[in-house]
A and B are shown apart, each in its own frame.
Chain A
Amino acid sequence: TQLLEQSPQFLSIQEGENLTVYCNSSSVFSSLQWYRQEPGEGPVLLVTVVTGGEVKKLKRLTFQFGDARKDSSLHITAAQTGDTGLYLCAGASGSTLGRLYFGRGTQLTVWP
């Protein structure tokens, strides 16, 4: 059973377009994280959101945590080729301390 469902699984767009990636669950999480992974490397933490309704911005990336803390979204404005990678969401639950539950990821390809 996958606790976190990410959509879409694949996304291929032109440079300059906007996009949104979704991370949904029926479970409540105490915090949710987004990671980006490039080929041949391990995932790298982008952001952690902890409060329902929270919005965080990281340059052209906007992260939102749902009011009920069950879902999150990542919006990229004016995508660049350097945004290409696998985007993973991961949730921390207060009932299972020390563990993260990962979604299966969204593979983003940005073409020049």
Chain B
Amino acid sequence: DADVTQTPRNRITKTGKRIMLECSQTKGHDRMYWYRQDPGLGLRLIYYSFDVKDINKGEISDGYSVSRQAQAKFSLSLESAIPNQTALYFCATSVGSSYNEQFFGPGTRLTVL
């Protein structure tokens, strides 16, 4: 069984719709992250959370919001989707060491028409 799962794996939606991407983990890690990946741009950090009561903005948080419902669950929302949010979205977890080694989910491919 996968340690970090993401749902849905693929989603096509229309401009202006609200979308939620969900991430669950069974690794018992405190730290969770949301990234987006675009061709040629690498991985860019959207939001991260060190525990249930801690939420931090990453480098590209505008247009996104998150919710840490439990240690194991971290959701990403697009309040009003726009076409330039079309991308691959990855959730990751980390045990919290100084190395911050991260474990990624399989990704969600989101297309906004």
Contacts and interface: CB of A to CB of B under 8 A. Distances in A.
A90 B100 CA distance: 10
B99 A48 contact: yes
Contacts of A105: 42
Contacts of B58: 99
B39 to A, nearest CB: 9
Given A102-B42, A104-B40, 20 more contacts: A31-B98, A31-B99, A33-B101, A40-B107, A42-B4, A42-B104, A42-B105, A43-B102, A43-B104, A45-B101, A88-B42, A88-B43, A92-B98, A92-B99, A97-B98, A97-B100, A98-B50, A98-B94, A99-B100, A102-B44
Classify the interface of chain B: helix, strand, loop or mixed. Answer: strand
Given A41-B106, A42-B90, A42-B104, A102 B43 contact: yes
A17 B33 CA distance: 37
Interface string B7-31: 0000000000000000000000001
Interface residues of B, number: 25
Nearest to A96: B100
Contacts of B102: 43, 45, 90, 100
A91 to B, nearest CB: 10
A94 B4 CA distance: 26
Interface of B: 4, 31, 40-45, 48, 50, 58, 90, 92, 94, 96, 98-107
B88 to A, nearest CB: 9
Nearest to B50: A98
A9 interface: yes
A97 B72 CA distance: 21
Nearest to B58: A99
A77 interface: no
Contacts of A50: 99
